[in-house]
Structure 1
């Protein structure tokens, strides 16, 4: 009956998680959540850069007007600065509302920055202003953030703006004449280069880090989708196997019933006892198959009932001991004040799988440690077996990663990791320095409590 018990544990966990994948969890498209998050981070960087630009322009205008005696059209230039401030306020409001930030939003933001810089340069010497090099900053950001088509559009706009500044601009009137203009131009080129280099280095580095983080999340989503597809296929296979097993089990039950009525067989007490045991075994197998078929359509949250952490653990331990005919399990309760939760069948099956793995490796000792860490429920299963191989720890939660050498093995922890992840938790495994292994399941109580 050991094989039937293993089939039951694996199939039930498979079907429960498959049902959760199909019905209980809201799917997220590969790029949906992560694109929005990356776009929000990039828009926030543009907002920060715009604040720096506003502060820098105010400082530059003050130095030119008061320090160098250069007459500037303060009111028109102040209106441009106010427009940049309002643009930032609108961008911050969009971020606060939690909406997604698309490439079009980033393009418009960079486009308005180019227009504002063009107007400021028009009012302060046009192409003779050394700060025309700041156009390169906008183009660098566009090349990093936008598609090639949008980048080309911004390059064309920037080139047209610079060409316009060569033909039409408000000339600067300097107290020292042309010689002073040339000297200030050289100094301005140096300052503009330093500003460009510093801002490009800082902001492009941060944007690249955002993009790498987004790519990593997309890769993780693809991996999760592949694992969930694997679980769904396993659930379908288990359900099909249960249907196929129903007929031969019914036939065996009928045959054993006939044997129990045959005088030649029942005359021997030993044979009668074996027939009785076989009848009980077939009955258990039929109950297992029925449970698999019922679990195939039972998503989490269907017919839930209230319980508490301690009651849940006590029932789980009692059921596991009774089903495994094993009393080597020790329970260490350090949870503290009990708390009401919703009983979750998937979580119970997860713990069954972890306890079964520990029992296989350590038949004489298994410990379940229950504790609370802030708003987190931690359930640790400890054994005194040989521990995990390094390659297993590196691939924890991936299918068919097993040290038992069985064909098709390694699905237990794969199912455990995926079910716990659906509940918002994490699974960690480590080897103890003095022998054995510990598997810790961490679950947010907010996801289990009423």
Structure 2
């Protein structure tokens, strides 16, 4: 499990970055422009005396770094996490230096120290984010104690009360920590969802390819049937002519004609098997009865030598006809994933049932295993949330819970509503207790495409 979590964290870090050099240089040029305008306006327009040389020197350091990396590297260069952290650390130090020259925390622009930490939290792993947040808080702490006087009217001084400066230091430090944690959390969840959706798209593409191959096989069987019948008929007529006029033809030619007939019959048998699974031709891939859907979804687990018994129940609530559904790979895959989870944790039995009426189709997967753990039950369906507590020795593939997210996403895309719970089930005198997954469709949905 630790290895799996480490692998998932590495994948999330890969999705979170890397960041381009061009992105950071563009942000730094924006900071240089803003800082330059602020210093010029304060010194010349407002008439507050500032240490102009020192301030412009700090700003020039940022401009020089931008020019250096622009000339030294390609703007399209992807930075490593360590390099990006170094660039952002420079920005924090540069801003703290500029604030030192202009009044420290008394400078209203000191709130900008939050910006580089927030940027770091959105693109860097946690350890670098924590380090940069600590650097920013250390800079704020130094500025609260040591700084040059704030530019003010000549002959007057502005000195805030110590308790006010302490409060502003506390608020700024808390803001740095809060925005860093918030941005990192949002970026991590976004990366998780992107990773899970990418896996969902891959799974759906695979299922669609399999369905397309099945449809192609059925179509080939249907289309090839007519020319193959013509070939077989012609070969039989050739064989009859050869047998009737045996003296005029060689024995080898008769053997070749007989071989042609036998191989044509063999091809016809193969095509017949391809189109014999259900309705003939393409219909077997376009239409699917509800009970056939249950068995197809559970198909990989029916012939296992060991494992729980899988039972099927399909019944109507109001004598409605059995729904005939469109064959959709996402439905088959989603239900199969829920059945696989139930088989992996069941002790002796898994019940796959379907109930319907004129309006609703409901498919339920239940098992007699330990059920969903209470700590993840409310979060099931989120990416990287394990469906059960711990790892089942009988099902070592269980782990990160990505399968539940994929199944839930695919089924909800077909209009399904999905609920997870633990419930007792069974007949009186033969009751079971375990996990229950319910998938429900509205058959009369205006935009529904479930019914064939």
Richer in helix (by share)? 1
TM exceeding 0.5: no
Greater RCO, CA 8 A, separation 6+ = 1
